[in-house]
Structure 1
């Protein structure tokens, strides 16, 4: 028998099946700015309606949260995570996501699994009015075990140059408001999996994996709703490194984000993780979002407006004069 690509572990037919299964979901994310469909070497997106547009881009993956999804064979939410991790990042600069591209790699392609993962991305794209205009599916036997998948994404958004949010307008006396997270989002899962090795154990009346796989919250609607009423000086996406590492990224020199830990509404699953793992509180705040998926900074006079606009939001601190960029107490 002669050697073929299939005999080496790559099934092109399964790849064609994947494209067929995702085509409808992907096309439903397209709008009049998308000038071509699936199959071209590059995807075309027409930029229109802006005076002085600045493109803002971000790329990310899902991390080892994907391991839980693969082990329990629940694939429909990790695509939402992939999109949210990228889109929430560019949102920190006031950018609206325009289009998204995904990269899916595996040891042996199963078109049903691939379609579920990409379907999650398409769901998030539709919710935010973002076009899923391209992607790559790579079957790589010998690089990945059969049954293993990895996913990453790339998002491009736009903001008027005069509306860019970069933290430079943050000043002493302003307040720090946390927008509630939907769970662990997509960070810290190597530690989560170490402390919670049995994803099927019961937690609060349901299998633990259901809590762990709740997808990363999309903050676009909340942020744009706030911006209609309030001028934001800074926005931080609380990802790996928690509040301790992410908030300082937007704080100007000479200022400090002073945060009261008692004002942070920590989810019960994180409290359980901390208790069961004997994890120090500072380690928790430097690893997980602790229930705060996004931080916004505004004038104190606007604080109540933000709190009223976004359910679950919490006033967690103030901006003060200090050489340290962040202090938690």
Structure 2
């Protein structure tokens, strides 16, 4: 494994040849999802009738509802859990170590596990550092099949940038982790080069990273990525649910597609379609689709995860932003509640936007219920901002 040294520029990263190692890489921990307020008989009075005016006129399910539906819905053709991603299991795993993680807390740490980014007060000042980390998920496999390695390099940066924006932070620097069984220099150049280009476009320094060549750990041609980003924000400019008030308005900004989440379900849909039609996965991905205005399903699936830095900067100057939800893993039910305080619900005006054809096509091909679609994919909205009602 190679620990890269600091770079002086945001372009190509200078790395030495990686050293082989036999020990497996440590798995990263995702942030825990913040549950929605209870809306059953145990709710408190503050929950009655209080809501934000926003992008969906229906109550989102209460915490754990997605898992309960998955356990009880035997008639559903396919779910995210059925495709191999059990969000509940991930939550349970994190619960096992949550208290041990909390014991590492220093006085400078602000908040708890569950936010879009970790907060650390800068010693001797009013600046708060915001740290985010994420991966690209099984979109990596589609990038390999379709030879679109640049896409996932940019995706990694954009995902981390958006998580930092959700805390109100300006991104500063980025580090990456690239792991593979056998390093292919040409693929490596395309992936990390795309990371560098994405960093340059966002004004971020690609500060360093690690390259790991792990024989026997990955299939031929496979690799995994992780990104780490640090940003900064003045303490009085921090965004979060504690700023949200009754009467605030939700604004949704369109996504460019699935972004980097829900691909295990999408890939399972494609695999089943290939099996039932007697074709290959590659053929299903390459075939033009009338529903996508003649575009191939594969090309639409690997659209780059949209970065929202430009929109964030513009809106910050025009309106008072209170909180932001980056709609990633877990879809609407798993992310919008993370931007809401306890006891406050969100009313979503569902007809306010047209769900892009990609999500409708995938859902119809897989026989996916609408609730499952919203609990897995962003459904055409990548970022939701809670702004002061007077600015709506």
- Report 1 or 2 for greater relative contact order, CA contacts < 8 Å, sequence distance ≥ 6: 2
Contact 1:38/1:133 (<8 A) preserved? no
Residues 85-124 of structure 1: CA deviation (Å, up to 9, x unaligned) = 1111111011011000000011111111001001111121
Structure 2, unpaired ranges of 5+: 17-121, 272-283
Which residue is equivalent to 1:170? 244
Report the CA distance between 1:207 and its aligned residue.
2.5
Which residue is equivalent to 1:256? 345
Contact 1:37/1:133 (<8 A) preserved? no
Tell me the SS of whatever aligns to 1:98: strand
Which residue is equivalent to 1:133? 207
Report the CA distance between 1:27 and its aligned residue.
5.2
Alpha-carbon distance between aligned partners in 1 of 2:349 and 2:371, rounded to the nearest angstrom: 13
> Are residue 277 (structure 1) and residue 373 (structure 2) matched?
no
Which residue is equivalent to 1:52? 126
> Are residue 157 (structure 1) and residue 235 (structure 2) matched?
no
Which of 10, 20, 24 aligns to 1:29? It is 10
> Are residue 293 (structure 1) and residue 374 (structure 2) matched?
no
Residues 174-203 of structure 1: CA deviation (Å, up to 9, x unaligned) = 111101001100000001011123221213
> Are residue 113 (structure 1) and residue 187 (structure 2) matched?
yes
Aligned ranges 1:119-268 → 2 under 5 Å: 119-197=193-271, 198-203=284-289, 204-268=293-357
> Are residue 61 (structure 1) and residue 147 (structure 2) matched?
no
Tell me the SS of whatever aligns to 1:199: helix
Residues 15-50 of structure 1: CA deviation (Å, up to 9, x unaligned) = 9xxx9xxx9xx75417xxxxx9867xxxxxxxx9x9
Alpha-carbon distance between aligned partners in 2 of 1:209 and 1:221, rounded to the nearest angstrom: 27
Alpha-carbon distance between aligned partners in 2 of 1:128 and 1:241, rounded to the nearest angstrom: 26
Q: TM-score with structure 2 length normalisation?
A: 0.65
Give me the CA root mean square deviation.
Answer: 2.2
Alpha-carbon distance between aligned partners in 1 of 2:297 and 2:343, rounded to the nearest angstrom: 43
Report the CA distance between 1:151 and its aligned residue.
0.6
Which residue is equivalent to 2:113? none
Residues 252-291 of structure 1: CA deviation (Å, up to 9, x unaligned) = 1111011122223311010111111111000000000000
Report the CA distance between 1:130 and its aligned residue.
0.3
